[in-house]
Amino acid sequence: MDEQTKEIRKAYEVEKKARKELERLDRAKDQFIMATQHHLRTPLTSMRGYLDLLLDGSYGKVPKRIGEILKKFETSTKNEVRVVNELLDISQFQLGKEVVNLQENISIETILKEVIEEFQLETEKKNIYLKLEKPEKPFPQIKADPQKLKVALFNVVDNGIKYTKQGGVTIKIKKEQVPRKREQKPKIKIIIQDTGIGIAKEEIDNLFIRTFERGETAEKLWGPGKGIGLFLANQIIKAHHGRIWAESEGKNKGSTFFVELPIS
């Protein structure tokens, strides 16, 4: 065997070893995800189920005060299920797995109305508004994964409410009228605008591309944010062949989030 063949063989062995190690790490990650699913999501979901049964009186009448406490439990459990699901989705995206299952003829109106309904109690409690402006034309149908798209929009609206003390959040939908170029497909733009704490310009872009990234103002002032919502929203929207971005005039000047999606 000449020197060159020896070198090639050596490089091949190194590459093979590295590939094996990567495969092992990939399997370890998969096992971690499955364990998280099994040990966290399953019991949390079952807790939530029992709490729902207790609250709707399936095990007998619940005294008012205890009912109120059970409701708080139920809300916390629901939030925990949501966080576990989001972390699982993020790991799946990072592993390059297919997370989004696109279906034809999905109504964006239904998704947005469901999102808004989830925040009714919170907006009443905070005394801020959350409104969906009726578009001039009927809402177009889109190609989407309704559950995942709901998660993405939920996160953006959730932030709008979380980071707004006065005023509120307005959601608008616009259809791009005529595609400027022939190859450009028609799109819808969902605009989620709040009157809250705003975002410093230099922070905006990183919020979508880094996990556990938080704005300075939000970190100091606004309690237990996790810094994963916008990262996940970005991954989901990208998997829908869409785009998400934000604009803000700065501190205390509100923020506007834009989600652009192709129409089926």
- CA nearest neighbour of 89 among 81, 99, 80: 99
Residues 63, 52, 99: CA angle, nearest 5 degrees: 155
Answer for the pair 204, 179: CB distance below 8 angstroms, yes or no. no
What is the rounded CA–CA span in Å between residue 211 and residue 106? 29
Q: Work out how close the CB of 140 gets to ligand ADP at its nearest, in angstroms, rounded to a whole number.
A: 25
Annotate each residue in 208-237 with x if it binds ligand ADP (CB under 6 A) or - if it does not, as one string.
-----xxx--x------xxxxxxx------
Question: Strand runs (DSSP E) across 32-178, as ranges?
Answer: 103-107, 129-132, 141-144, 168-175
Residues 117-136 that bind ligand ADP (CB under 6 A): none
Q: Work out how close the CB of 263 gets to ligand ADP at its nearest, in angstroms, rounded to a whole number.
A: 26
Q: Work out how close the CB of 196 gets to ligand ADP at its nearest, in angstroms, rounded to a whole number.
A: 5
Residues 151-190 that bind ligand ADP (CB under 6 A): 155, 159-160, 163
Of 115, 196, 239, 260, the one binding ligand ADP by CB under 6 A: 196
Of 194, 236, 242, 244, the one binding ligand ADP by CB under 6 A: 194
What is the rounded CA–CA span in Å between residue 262 and residue 132? 20
Site residues (vs ligand ADP, CB under 6 A): 155, 159-160, 163, 194, 196-199, 207, 213-215, 218, 225-231, 255
